[in-house]
Every structure is written in C-alpha cells, then in structure tokens.
Structure 1
Amino acid sequence: MVFGQVCFSRANIDEVETDVVEIEAKLDKLVRLCSGMIDAGRAYVTANKLFVNGIRDLSHHCKKEEMISECLEKFGESLQEIVNYHMILFDQAQRSIKQQLQSFIKDDVRKFKETRRQFERVREDMELAQVRNAQAPRTKPHELEEAATALTLSRKCFRHLALDYVLQINVLQAKKKFEILDAMLSFMHAQYTLFQQGYSLLDQIDPYMKKLAAELDQLVIDSAVEKREMEHKHAIIQQRT
C-alpha cells in the first residue's frame, strides 16, 4: 500500500499495529502512575498546609517574643509560597501528562483501532469476493458477471479504505511523537519553574536566615556566659551558707 511517498507492506502494517497495542498499554500505565503521583502530591500539599497553619498558630502564641514571632511569620509565609508552587506543579502534571495523554489514547489511538477493524472487515470481504469470482461457473455468464462486478467494487472499497488506513498510520505516528514529547516537555518546564521559583524565594530570605543564625550564635554565647555567672553566684551563696 502506498500513501504519498510512504509505502507500507503487510509486515510494516503488522509492526505498526503491534506498536500501537504496546504504546497504548505503556501510556495507560504512565497515566495511572501520574494519577497516583498527583494524588500523593496533593496529600503532601494538604499535610504541608496543616504544618504551615501550625507554624502560624505558634507565631500568634509567641507574639510577646518578637524574635520568635518574626521568625515564624517569615518562614511560614515562605513555606506557604512553596506549597503554592507545588500545587501549580501537580496541576500542570494533571494537564500535561494525565489529560493530554488520556486524550491521545481516547481520540487518536482508538480512532486508529476502529479504522483497523474496518480495514480488516473490508479486506475479508474482498478475499471472499475473490473466492466467489474464482468459483463462479463459466457456463453461467450472468453469475460470472455478478461475481466480477462484486470483486471490482470490493477492490475499490479496499483501496479507498487502505489509503485511509495508511493515512491513519502516518497521522498516529506523527502525533504520537508530538504528544509524548510535548507532554513531557511541559511537565519538565513545570519542574524547572518550581525549583527556580523556590530558589528565588529562599534566596530572598537568605540574608534574614544568615542574620538570624548569627543572632542565635550570639545567643548561645550569651547564654553560656549567663550560665557561668549564675553558677558562680550560686557557688558563692553556698559558701556563705
């Protein structure tokens, strides 16, 4: 069979049909795995939201401790933004992987399989017409003519549908490449955006974290000095007693 510049033998078609069955199974599996990842991701987002709410509750409780309250507020806001970025990532996975590939399976792969079923039926009809034409009695011109006419019509129908089938093969192969690559590229762009935005956000609060770390180091030193002074005073009091 020939369509445009592409020639398909029976072996080529068998190979394509086998590939379609396999790619459909692989895509179905990937969609299911993606669905599981999205569900787990949304559960992760929900757990993180609860954690952030806990940080905010603690911040409200520690309002009199300005250093603690400020720290909890800043970190809580940053963590909430990171949660929002994760929500965007899982929404993109829903659209680019799950929905896009599901649509490809539902629309294109199944349309191809339906065309294949029609092609096989018409091919069987043509083979049956060939048998009837070969078996038509030569002594009965009327039956011979009917068999020849039926064979001609079945051949025309077969050639027409064969062209449609080859077209479906070309379209499916081209679209398979586009759909898979486009879905994965969109998802990886979403991953890139997640980490880029996350890095940018954390980079903005990095000076505050360094300042807080220095203050904590000084707090440890001050606490150690205060502890020694208290121990010294305690020892003096015990000696006097």
Structure 2
Amino acid sequence: MTVANNGMAMPASPPKIDCSEAIQDSPRFRAQVSQHTAYFNRLENRLNEMLRHISAMMEFSKNYVNTFYKLTVSVNQLCDESFSGNPLAANTFQGLSDAYGQTVNLFRTYYDHSNVVIYTKLSNFIKNELTKVAESRAHFENMSQSMDEALVKNAGISRQKPADATEGRNALTAVGTCFAHTTLDYVANINIAHAHKDHMILDALWTLVRESSAFFSKGHATFDEWTAADNGAVADTIQTFAAKSKLIERKMQDVHSLVPKVS
C-alpha cells in the first residue's frame, strides 16, 4: 500500500494475472480483472489531470511570452519617443532591447516545445495503451455475456434430441473458444499496458526535465555572450547618468539664488 497526499492508503499495483486462471475464467481471475480495471481507471484519471495542468501551462506560457514581447515593443517605443535625442541612452536602450528579445525567443522555444512534447507523449500513452485495454475489456465483457447465454441455451436443450444436443455442444464449444481467445487478448493488453506505462510515462516526465536543462544551458550561453559583448557598458552608462543626476541635483539646490534680492 502507498499513502496519498491526503494521508489515505492507496492500493498498490494489482498482481499479475495468471493466464491459466484467465482461461478457466475463475473467480480469482475475475477479482484480479476488477483490480486492474480500478487501477487503470485511477491511472487514466490522474494522467488526464496532469494533461489539464499542462494545457493550463501552455496557455499561461503563451500569454507570458506574448506579454513579454509587448513589453519589448514598449521599451523600443519608449526609446524612440523619449530618448532619441540622447545617443548614449539610445544605444543602451538598444542593447537592453536586444537582451529582452533574446529572452522572449528563449522562452517561446522552451514553452512551445517542452509543453507540447510532454502533452503529446502522455496523450499517446492514453490513446495507444489505455484505450486498447478499455476496448479489449469491452470485447471481453461482450463475449462473457455471449458465453453465459450459450451456457443457458445449452442447458435448456433436451437430451432426448441428440441432434439438438450435438448442435448445442458445438455452439457452446465455438463460443467458448472465442471467449478464451478474447480473454487472453484482454490479459495480453493489460500486461502490455503495465509494461509500457513504466518507461513511457517516465520518459514523458523526463522530457520536461531535459527541455528545462537545455533551456537554462542555452540561456546561460546566450547571456554569457551578451555580457561579454556588453563588457560592462550598461552598468557604466547607468553610473554615468547617476553621477550626472547628482550634479544636476546640486545645481538645482542653488537655483533660488537667481531670484533678485529685495533691498
């Protein structure tokens, strides 16, 4: 048993189904089928919850990147409207605008690719694996009902009519054989889904980690290059303007001396 976040005990993975039990359609097999059905339902619900979170992330990240781009446009407009007459400030604005633009591109590439890949991989697992289990379960249940009907029909045939009895046995054998194959197909799909879920789900989650690592590595390399090209120019410009502003402040403190004194 495992423990969920709410402190309640959760059932562990159900035991592997014995094919001999499946062919016999024993009560133990039916109990195991119920356990696997509950397990896959719980798994699919959790994966769908994760897909909803990823969809929300995709929407939020799209809005974030678009808003960041609008901020970059506003920075450029600010420079053109208010600092075009100051070459030093304008050049510094251009450098910062380039950095903003590179940041937008980095985020856009990261969000567009990482979110889509993990979403696609998890969706494919549900579509290709869990859907097969659900479809084979539906076939199994239909054949199980057909088997029950064949048993009832065969039991109702009068043994005093050999031809009818033979026909009933043959029909029951045919349905039984089909039911056995359907049951084994169902068990096979259950076992395959269990085998695939481990590496497919882990690989999907690992994708986001790999993409994040690549994103931060590329960002580090990009801004190492940008910082080397800048060579402290932005910081020097800010210090220059800060020093100039202090001089202006001191001059403004004496501005009232220009007012003529009344004799």
Is residue 109 of structure 2 the alignment partner of residue 88 of structure 1? yes
Match of 1:117 among 100, 119, 138: 138
Match of 2:202 among 154, 170, 181: 181
RMSD of aligned Cα (Å) = 3.0
Contact 1:34 1:93 in 2 (8 A): no
Q: TM-score if structure 2 supplies the norm length?
A: 0.77
Is residue 60 of structure 2 the alignment partner of residue 46 of structure 1? no
Identity score, percent: 24
Is residue 176 of structure 2 the alignment partner of residue 163 of structure 1? no
Structure 1 position 236, deviation (Å): 9.1
For residues 50 and 211 of structure 1, what CA distance do their matches in structure 2 show?
Answer: 25
For residues 160 and 262 of structure 2, what CA distance do their matches in structure 1 show?
Answer: 141
Helix, strand or coil at the partner of 1:54: helix
For residues 213 and 262 of structure 2, what CA distance do their matches in structure 1 show?
Answer: 69
Structure 1 position 197, deviation (Å): 2.0
Match of 2:6 in 1: none
Match of 1:16 in 2: 36
1:129-140 equivalences in 2 (<5 Å): 129-140=150-161
Structure 1 position 120, deviation (Å): 0.9
* Paired letter, 1:58: L
Structure 1 position 119, deviation (Å): 0.7
For residues 230 and 146 of structure 1, what CA distance do their matches in structure 2 show?
Answer: 113
- What count of residue pairs does the alignment treat as equivalent? 240
Which runs of no fewer than 5 residues in structure 2 stay unpaired?
A: 1-16
Contact 1:78 1:201 in 2 (8 A): no
Contact 2:147 2:179 in 1 (8 A): yes
Match of 1:98 among 102, 119, 128: 119
Greater shift in the superposed pair: 15-24 or 63-72: 63-72
Q: TM-score if structure 1 supplies the norm length?
A: 0.84
For residues 146 and 106 of structure 2, what CA distance do their matches in structure 1 show?
Answer: 58
Which runs of no fewer than 5 residues in structure 1 stay unpaired?
A: none
Structure 1 position 71, deviation (Å): 1.7
For residues 45 and 52 of structure 1, what CA distance do their matches in structure 2 show?
Answer: 11
Structure 1 position 43, deviation (Å): 1.2
Match of 2:170 in 1: 149
Contact 2:92 2:237 in 1 (8 A): no
